[in-house]
Structure 1
Amino acid sequence: MTTEKNNIVSAPAGLGKKPVKKPAGNGKGKKRFAGLSRWLHIYLSMVSFTILLFFAVSGLTLNHADWFTSGKEVVTKDLGNVNIKWVNQLDTNKINKLQIVEFLRSKHEVKGALSDFRIDDSELSLTFNGPGYLADSFIDRETGKYELTVTRFGAVAVINDLHKGRDSGKAWSWIIDISAVLMTLVSISGIILICFIKKKRLSGFIIAAVGTLACYLIWKLFVP
């Protein structure tokens, strides 16, 4: 006697099931983008760690100058003579400015950039400026005698001037620009990363909005 079980014919595998459509690479694309954002955020933060820390600390020292002592100002004075032919010229265009500047740099190790060179009837005046540094020299055109006064304002003054980019030269100006770009990229990559963290996404954007609103209200209500 043939059983009912033996009369059952097996259906081909997968028959009657609807094929499931797989997303066309969307999941992989998002993972790659999230991974790239994470990579940028981590390594840009590490590359820019020192310079960002510097600008954070110097922003505090600059905003609260009364909290930090700039260090004792060190003033040194020197006297001497330059070659009278360099300065005693009827035609002031014949005065070799570069020669005078290089003489002061080599003899007294004057630093900073030349910010002012004035020629009067009786004397020359030169001013050199650098971060936390000032040097003034006055040269008598008739005798060639000069007086050089150098003032060093201390470590905190150097930090503050570097933060502001004052008298720090073109190379440091590039550092400021690069650090600004890095801070922007670190911030943007952090915002992108929070978008991929579902549990933290809403709270993260709420906190960012609260911080932005707080800064705006302080500026609007309390900044004169």
Structure 2
Amino acid sequence: MGLATMKGRWYLGSLRQWHWISSAVCLVGMLLFAVTGITLNNASIIPATPYVVSVEAVLPTQVLSEIEVPDNEMAPLSAELRTWLERELDLYIPGSRRGEWSDDEVYVALPRPGGDAWFSLDLDSGDILYERTTRGWVAYLNDLHKGRDTGTVWSWFLDVFAVACVVFCVSGLLLLQRHAASRPTTWPIVGLGLVIPLLLILLFVH
């Protein structure tokens, strides 16, 4: 067996390995993104009934008196306040989430995939208002697709997933090139994959 033949087999084996590994990594993500691509494209005809949870309460005077308005208008809630909210009202507010402070109120926006939430506290009366809105699983998955209010870790996952998709596509293209000589329709079909969306953009996208 010649050296060139051995190199060719090693190259083909490496391509196939990269292709199947990247396809395994991308499989679930690609299915999710394909399905949510359909739901996003047809969002206007998919019904969604928002579900709203509201909480009204009054912060005890002792806890209220311990709150100090920070010098910075954008600052997180104190650990003591967050602990009380979680223990008494089952309201979890991350320590990293910054609130908008004024002399008489603190407001915390709590955006989330598939919905929204917010929290406010009157620093004079101790009145607490909290509202959480959810719009169902379709909205949740759509926001995962867009990376909307999903946090840093999910953003990292999207980047890794995108790189795996690039590896999957490029290794697939190189495999097509490898076998194109015995499959004459390979490049015409690949060309259609480029020409069809290009024509649709030029003719129908304004």
Query: For the superposition of Structure 1 and Structure 2, which TM-score range results when normalised by the shorter chain?
Result: 0.7 to 0.9
| Cα pair 1:112 1:130 within 8 Å, conserved | no
**Aligned equivalents of 1:75 and 1:54: distance in 2?**
26
1:49-92 Cα deviation digits (max 9, x unpaired): 1111111111111111024233x3111111122222244x5x54
Answer yes or no: is 1:25 the counterpart of 2:3.
Answer: yes
Q: What's the RMSD between the two structures over aligned residues?
A: 2.5
SS at match of 1:66: helix
The alignment covers a number of residue pairs equal to 198
Aligned partner of 1:146 in structure 2 is: 128
- TM-superposition CA deviations, 1:103-138 (whole Å, max 9, x none): 434432346797662223332211111111322122
- 1:78-157 alignment runs, 5 A limit: 78-82=55-59, 83-87=63-67, 89=68, 92-93=70-71, 97-99=77-79, 100-106=81-87, 107-110=89-92, 117-157=99-139
Segments of structure 1 that go 5 or more residues without pairing to the other structure are: 1-21
Matched AA of 1:76 = V
TM-score when scaled to structure 1? 0.78
Between the aligned partners of 1:96 and 1:86, the Cα distance in structure 2 is 15
Q: Provide the TM-score with structure 2 as the length reference.
A: 0.84
- The aligned amino acid for 1:199 is S
CA contact (8 A) 2:76 2:99 kept: no
C-alpha contact (below 8 Å) 1:128/1:135 kept by paired residues: yes
Q: Whole-Å Cα distance in 1 between the matches of residues 99 and 86 of structure 2?
A: 14
Q: Is the 8 A contact 2:76 2:98 kept in 1?
A: no
Unaligned runs of 5+ in 2: none
Instruction: Give the letter aligned to residue 131 of structure 1.
Output: P
Alpha carbons 1:114, 1:128 under 8 Å: kept: no
Instruction: Go from structure 1 to structure 2 and tell me whether the alpha carbon gap of 1:104 and 1:164 turns closer, same or farther (over 3 Å shift).
Output: farther
Cα deviations by residue, 1:144-192 (Å, 9 ceiling, x for unpaired): 1211111111111110111110110111001111111111111111111
The structure with more radius of gyration:
1
Q: Structure 1 pair 133/101, CA: closer, same or farther in 2 (3 Å)?
A: farther
Q: Tell me the equivalent position of 1:7.
A: none
Letter in 1 for 2:51: V
Q: Which runs of 4+ in 1 moved over 6 A?
A: 111-114
User: 1:47: Cα distance to partner?
Assistant: 2.3
1:199 and 2:177 correspond: no
Q: Provide closer, same or farther for how the CA distance between residues 181 and 173 of structure 1 changes in structure 2, counting only shifts above 3 A.
A: same
Distance 1:80 1:207, change over 3 A: same
